[in-house]
Structure 1
Amino acid sequence: MLYIFLFLFLAPPLLSQPRFENGYVVFQLYAPDAKSVVVAGDFNGWRTDDFLTKDETGIWSKKFKVKPGVYQYKFIVDGKWMLDPANPVKVENFNRTDFNSIFVLSYDWKILLQSEPDAKPNPQDIYPKTNRIYLNIIWHQHQPSYLDPEKDELQGPWVRTHGTKDYYDMASLLEKYPNVHVTINLTSSLLYQLSEYYVKRLKPYFDPKKNRIDAERYFKDNVKVDPWIDLMLKDSKNFTEYELGYIYKNPWNCFSVSEVVIDRFPEYKALKQKDPAKYTVDDLRKIKFFFYLSNFDPDFLNGKVKLANGFEVDLTDLVQKKDGKYYLKKEITEDDCNRIVAETYKILSAVIPVHKKLMYDPVKRTGQIEVITTPFYHPILPLIYDTDIAKLPQPNDKLPERFSYPEDADAQIKKSIAYYQKIFGQKPLGMWPAEGSVSEQVVSLFVRNGIRWIATDEKVLARSKPENQPFYYPYFVDEDTIYGKKDETKSLLIVFRDTKLSDAIGFTYQNYEPEIAADDFIRYVLSFAPEDSTDERLITVILDGENAWEWYRKDEDGKVFLNALYRKLSKLYDEGQVITVTMSEWIYGNPKRGIKPHKITSHAELEPLWAGSWINANFDTWIGEDEENLAWEYLLKVRRDIEKLKVPRPNPASDLPKLETRRYFEYRAWESLYAAEGSDWFWWYGKDQNALGGDEPFDVGFRTHLINVYKFLQNAGYKIEIPKFLFSPILRDKKDQP
């Protein structure tokens, strides 16, 4: 590459870079002999089609609207990746296989050639005075369906573990900060497992006076919840190979916690490092106990907590904290294990009540939390509608045979609305489409089902028309997709996730001191405050409200960070600078908080809306790789079989029939199919994602749902065989294919 060396010796000084000019970050490269130059980095989603333009002197250039933060990037010159020769700062890339150029855009809009963020502690919460800016925080709480309908038992413990660690306290924490309003997304598949299995099935066996579970009656009645409940209620000295699988042998076991979490429990960590052949009965008892204990929110370990349903939880008689780590106060007995199940029940039974207690009422304008939901089994809705839509954002990927069932996509929405209404007594106004996945085709499904707003990622906004609109405004899309038409009843408001800030909470702040992280968040938000006081800007932050916290190394479960953040936001609310707002408040107004109403059609229109998700503004996490495509073909084969048999589709809003009639089994066959349409199975296929305990349980879960479609149809009297290919793992080469 001769032009690289020419750049080093001949390029004029003005090319020291990147530079910030008139609100844009400018990239340049002197390469007179190059045929094409692209810049790819964090600021554009590592797109490989952002071509620079060459002038008559041989300098290629392009400018980008970039937000404050740390950015890695590289040039692609005639198809070959290279560092920026004008930037001396580089870091190892994400895979630690090479280097990327890096820079920091500070909060006062200066380019800093350094690799560390521009963050400083500010415990006094003193910030420069700015005009008002609105902040829309959405915490997404989701678990896929771990239900094996044939066994009538959940095959994973994760609804329970996150219930005791995250789902309760992420809502209850807000009570201390009444001027902080947020949105919490509770997916239907999560709510169903929480309510129908943990709460309803444990309640008859919970004795509030003794604070124990009646284990004898529980086993006599053959109750099924999840295998780890049985593990805690069964005497460890009677464990067989079956129970030992759930202790330490299976992919999901009692050591399935993050390294950060287990480091806080030295006795637990020592048991993990011990040779399993030398485990004693006491060791097995402690292992199962620690698996529960480590998944309790720190508030329950550090003092007494009164729950929203009136119960109290206090584990300080069992555990004590020394130098930031937890140690047992006593030898653990089987009675202690039983008690922990009782404490678990109390917390899980309070999850829905705490959300109801704090739920925002758009009519009365009371409450702090707008509760929304997601299509029932968390499907990638545009792909359920038509997998060929992936050709738009993934033109070079090989796709499976077309799967197109708009009626299934509609049923997933209807089911979630009906279940939400059953729990909360009203219909949701907003939805987070699974993984922020949207397309023009699914807009009408949301509109016709009464949904007023949805959310996705700003990378989708950047590719929608008109392109590259500011991310800090909501936009609307029309059901009829006719440009310029403004019908409030047929329109949908969309907000776009600030990628940089959302990902900072999920992936960057875990390595920060919590006060510095909270300050970094605030300074970022204030950097977008408008100069014009009449300009209403809305920054939207969306991420999991559960998975991030277990990786916070300098802050136990993210508690100090969240408290510091809410404290700062409360002060800035009082000063009129940052107003946390829910989308119901935004659309319908809240005079008590100085928020005026905003008609959906009063916003700028997008036409067309780009088809994509929060990841890469496409669907390549769920379709396009060989394993993913094969999973879609399996799903298509099963979907065609249920269609070929003309199995009546139940009303999506109806409950499971009580009697085991033909209609009962047909209902469960459809339910298993809908569950197999969930996004989580496809997420773990391919090379782009890897689970902590391995991908195998998800592969088994996906195929179990498909197999159960046939088993229920057989029980309903249909003459059909289970295809042999469904018994072969998708995670390796397969001979039997549909």
Structure 2
Amino acid sequence: MKTLYVSFLWHLHQPLYKDKLTNTYRLPWVRLHSTKGYWDMVNIIEDYPDAKVTFNLTPSLLYQILDISKNVIKDLHYEISKKPIDSLTLDDKIFILQNFFLCNWETMVYPYPRFNELLKKRGESISGRELEKKAFDFTKKDFLDLIVLYNLIWFGFSERKDPFIKKLFEKGEGFTENERDKLLKKQKEIISLIIPKYKELQDKGQIEVSTSPFYHPILPILLDGKQSGFDFLSDAKEQIRNGISFYEENFGKKPKGMWPAEGGVSKEIFPLLKNEGIEWSATDEEILLNSIDSFSRSDIYKMYEINGIKLFFRDKNLSNLISFIYSKNKPEDAVSDLVARIEKIRDCTIGLPGEHIVSIILDGENPWEYYRDNGHGFLSGIYERIPKIPNVKMVTFSEFIKITKEGNKLSHIIPGSWIDHSFKIWIGKEEKDKAWNYLKRARDTLIKTAPDNTSAWEEIYIAEGSDWFWWYGDDFSSDQDDVFDSLFRTHLANVYKILNKIPPSYLDEPIAKPKFIKPQIEPVHLISPIIDGKITSYYEWLFGGFYDVWEPGGTMHISQTIISSIRYGYDFYNLYLAISTKTKVEEEVFVVDIISPNAYRIKFFPENYGDVFRVLNVDSIIKIGRLNSVCFGRILEVGIPFRVIEAHLGDEIRFVVSTERNGIIVESWPKMGFISITIPTKEKEAINWSA
């Protein structure tokens, strides 16, 4: 009787969170996911010898796992975790309260009484200013428990059988610094075992490990010169070659398969893969649906061939069930549902000619945060039951190629990804296109200045990764959008630094489009402050607006901020600002960027004057005049005439306040948005007063 083949591809990936020039990791996700998803996924499969799967380990993830396990690196989250509790500063404590609850609360906080207690004590919804107050409420014991619990909760089911880890979970609270140190040491030990374990199981033949272009670029975008306005063919080739070379360095042989980043394919990429010895690749079923004239559901369960590359198409429904739905069900029910669906596919294809394969391809790390047992019940269930389904066999993709040999010929394939069979998530919107434009400028500078500088090229390749563009625009958002934005611009700025050039000033400013940030107090009436560098009286700014930089929170250490608050208001002729600072200002220049109704930049200097610039575009600003209504004192007070910035009664003015040191923007407020003020007409103001 005919056999239906089933092949899982678990895609394991993280973008490069490391700034190579400073040897600093900005985010902890590789370290934390290592003791959970990466270690669990390879360990559990070993218990089920009849289960065969493919893991796609991206080179950027592989590099970071090896780097963290072997080298001394800077990771603020880790460094604060291991500090003696008595030496924690106020900034450290605020950082812990901001960042050590970043996980799925439903499965990783609420089930653990002490962790849940600490979350409630901090507050589930809390502002930046309140964090400082909470930092004083938390005891040394609270902070130590929080540090241990946050690092502990990222240990998955494989290590929870370890006597020490099991003891910590059972203890639940009242941890010692010695236990914390042992936990962090255990974390490092596990990370060092991950890649050798994947190699061991691949050498045994139970798993296949495939790869991706090194820094996870979407190859069709790099190659699509006509639509995108650039053609990075040489970059695409290098990303492929470097990924294969790094794989060979760590696994002792070349990979047979390559998962294209985001499942992004086009007819142009396959000759590149073929030339480097790649045998197979894969993408989403919707690509096939839109590439052939007539479509039957059974078509996605065939192997295809295009330009010498064997091509598999994932079952989108089955893949998404595991990613997003099954976590809400009991493990045994989810397993039974998947088994039943595979049996149905077997029954539907059994009478059709040729061999058929069900390709289940998905993210292999993030789903397990949403499974109450970290996915143990579901994974053990499918690895136990699928091989026992009559006339069903689990295989790797390379094993299936040996069985089938010839694929169905594809003469045409539409360009697209595994999301909506398009690339609109990564290109084609204002913020995304601005990021690509900045990347192209840096690349052009490199080619003109030092085309053989490999370190600078490395930063370009990093910036080509898909993850940065994913977070730009309004498609997706996270608590760390500002960090991703900053990291992308850091990699581009590093290109210029490596070339001994000053990075363009626009790389100091967020690419993410500013959003209106609601201040703590909004203006209600006209004000007429005296510009004398101090709050002259209680009533001077009473009817103005007030923005406290603490309120939005964020990842910046509080000690790094210069500005503490911004008061603002207006009369019929001027915009007024009063900027308070944490410390005495000596070298800083204060910058007010007027975003609308027209783009202006005004720089205020300690010598009590302000230079006004008209902003034409990111490369061109023209000095047009000077303001003298400026006073640096206890605070900075300024008056900006509406006529200077071409604003009129009834206009909305959007602005951002920054500090600059040695020509470099140090901080901007709001960080990811703007303050908005609408100049009332005289009629409107009269109504306000009469009300």
Do both proteins adopt the same fold according to a TM-score greater than 0.5, normalized to the shorter chain?
A: yes
Deviations 1:607-633 (A, max 9, x none): 211100000000011112211111111
1:417 aligns with 2:255: no
- In structure 2, the partner of 1:505 is 322
Distance 1:351 1:232 in 2: 22
User: Does 1:248 find its partner at 2:97?
Assistant: yes
What SS is found at the alignment partner of 1:493? strand
**8 Å Cα contact 2:217/2:464 also seen in 1:** yes
Question: Is 1:239–2:68 an aligned residue pair?
Answer: no
1:241 shift after superposition: 4.3
Do the aligned partners of residues 624 and 271 (structure 1) sit closer, same or farther apart at CA in structure 2, a change above 3 Å counting? Answer: same
Contact 1:140 1:185 in 2 (8 A): yes
Distance in 2 (alpha carbons) for counterparts of 1:189 and 1:170 = 18
1:528-607 equivalences in 2 (<5 Å): 528-529=345-346, 530-532=349-351, 535-552=354-371, 555-572=372-389, 575=390, 577-588=391-402, 596=403, 598-599=404-405, 602-607=406-411
What is the CA distance between 1:403 and its match in structure 2?
2.4
Which is worse superposed, 460-469 or 700-709?
A: 460-469
Cα distance in structure 2, aligned partners of 1:353 and 1:620? 38
The aligned residue for residue 200 of structure 1 is: 70
User: Could you tell me which residue of structure 2 aligns to residue 55 of structure 1?
Assistant: none
The answer for the alignment partner of 1:737 in structure 2 is 618
The match for 2:10 is 139
1:443-497 C-alpha deviation (Å, 9 max, x unpaired): 111111111000100001111134536100011101xxxxxxxxxxxx0011001
Secondary structure of the corresponding residue to residue 263 of structure 1: coil
1:270 aligns with 117
Asked whether the 8 Å contact 2:44–2:158 carries over to 1, the reply is: no
Equivalence for 1:385: 223
Deviations 1:516-567 (A, max 9, x none): 1111111111111123286411010000111011112xx3111111111111
Q: Tell me, yes or no, if structure 1 residue 724 matches structure 2 residue 551.
A: no
In the alignment, which residue of structure 1 is the partner of 2:209?
Answer: 371
- C-alpha distance in structure 1 between counterparts of 2:225 and 2:335, whole Å: 40
Secondary structure (helix, strand or coil) at the match of 1:729 reads coil
Q: Give the Cα–Cα distance (whole angstroms) in 1 for the partners of residues 35 and 100 of structure 2.
A: 16
Equivalent in the alignment of 2:333? 516
**Percent identity over paired residues:** 37
| Residues 678-697 of structure 1 aligned to structure 2 (within 5 Å) | 678-691=465-478, 693-697=479-483
Q: What is the deviation of 1:131? A: 4.5
Q: Report the residue type matching 2:119 in the other structure.
A: K
CA distance, structure 2, for counterparts of residue 256 and residue 157 of structure 1: 11
Q: Residues of 1 paired with 2:352 and 2:411: CA distance?
A: 29
TM-score (norm 2): 0.70
Residue by residue, what CA displacement relative to the aligned partner does 1:201-253 show, whole Å, maximum 9, x if unpaired?
2xxxxxxxxxxxxxxxxxxxxx424222212221122122443353123xxx1
1:708 to partner: Cα distance: 0.7
SS of structure 2 residue aligned to 1:413: helix
Give a deviation string over 1:631-665, Cα, whole Å, max 9, x none. Answer: 111111111111121421xxxxxxxxxxxxxxxxx
The equivalent of 1:97 in structure 2 is none
1:229 to 73, 78, 101: 78
Q: Which residue of 2 aligns with 1:185?
A: 56
Equivalence for 2:186:
343
Provide the residue aligned with 1:699 in structure 2: 485
Measure the CA separation in 1 of the matches of 2:256 and 2:5. 19
Q: Which residue of 2 aligns with 1:294?
A: 153
> Which ranges of 4 or more aligned residues in structure 1 deviate by more than 3 Å?
733-736
TM-score (norm 1): 0.66
CA contact (8 A) 1:457 1:499 kept: yes
Which runs of structure 2 are paired with 1:301-320 in the superposition (5 Å)? 301=160, 303-304=161-162, 314-320=164-170
Query: Which amino acid in the other structure matches residue 244 of structure 1?
Result: K
Aligned partners of 2:468 and 2:353: how far apart in 1?
46
Q: 1:154 aligns with which of 22, 25, 50?
A: 25
Instruction: Give structure 2 stretches of 5+ with no counterpart.
Output: 123-133, 515-594, 600-616, 620-691
Matched, 1:163 2:34: yes
Q: Mind listing any 5+ residue stretches in structure 1 that lack a counterpart?
A: 1-129, 202-222, 305-312, 321-326, 361-365, 390-400, 479-490, 589-595, 649-665, 715-719
1:420 CA drift (Å) = 0.4
Q: Is this contact kept in 2: 1:515–1:560, CA < 8 A?
A: yes
Please tell me the residue identity of whatever aligns with 2:495.
V
Instruction: Mark the structure with the bigger radius of gyration.
Output: 2
1:616 equivalenced with 2:433 (yes/no): no
Q: CA deviation at 1:167?
A: 0.5
Alignment-mate amino acid for residue 314 of structure 2: R
C-alpha distance in 2 between matches for 1:238 and 1:266: 27
Match of 2:140 in 1: 281
SS in 1 for 2:8: strand
Question: CA separation in 2, counterparts of 1:258 and 1:712?
Answer: 39
Q: Partner of 1:354 in structure 2?
A: 197
Aligned to 2:280: 453
Q: How far, CA to CA, are the matches of 2:188 and 2:248 in structure 1?
A: 24
Measured against aligned partners, the alpha-carbon deviations of 1:484-518 in whole angstroms (never above 9, x if no partner) come to xxxxxxx0011001100000000111111111111
The amino acid that maps onto 1:175 is E
The number of equivalent residue pairs is 502
- Rounded to whole Å, the distance in 2 between the matches of 1:132 and 1:609 is 28
- 1:426 matched to 2:253: yes
Matching of residue 462 in structure 1 with residue 311 in structure 2: no
Q: 1:706–1:244: structure 2 CA closer, same or farther, 3 Å change rule?
A: farther
Q: Is the CA contact 2:284–2:315 (under 8 Å) kept in the aligned structure 1?
A: yes
Question: 1:682 is aligned with what amino acid?
Answer: F
Question: What do residues 82-128 of structure 1 show as CA deviations (whole Å, max 9, x unaligned)?
Answer: xxxxxxxxxxxxxxxxxxxxxxxxxxxxxxxxxxxxxxxxxxxxxxx
2:304 maps to what in 1? 475
Note the C-alpha offset of 1:424. 0.5
Q: Which amino acid aligns with 2:420?
A: N
The one-letter amino acid of 1:504's match is L
Name the residue aligned to 1:52. Answer: none
Supply the distance in 1 between the matched residues of 2:260 and 2:289 (Cα, whole angstroms): 18
CA distance in 1, matches of 2:94, 2:247: 36
Tell me how far apart the structure 2 counterparts of residues 188 and 245 of structure 1 sit (CA, whole Å). Answer: 34
User: 1:635: which partner in 2?
Assistant: 439
Aligned partner of 1:671: which letter? E
Q: Post-superposition shift, 1:694?
A: 3.4
Structure 1 counterpart of 2:265:
438
- Alpha-carbon distance between aligned partners in 2 of 1:437 and 1:679, rounded to the nearest angstrom: 10
The offset of 1:157, in angstroms, is: 0.6
The residue type paired with residue 292 of structure 1 is N
Partner of residue 687, structure 2: none
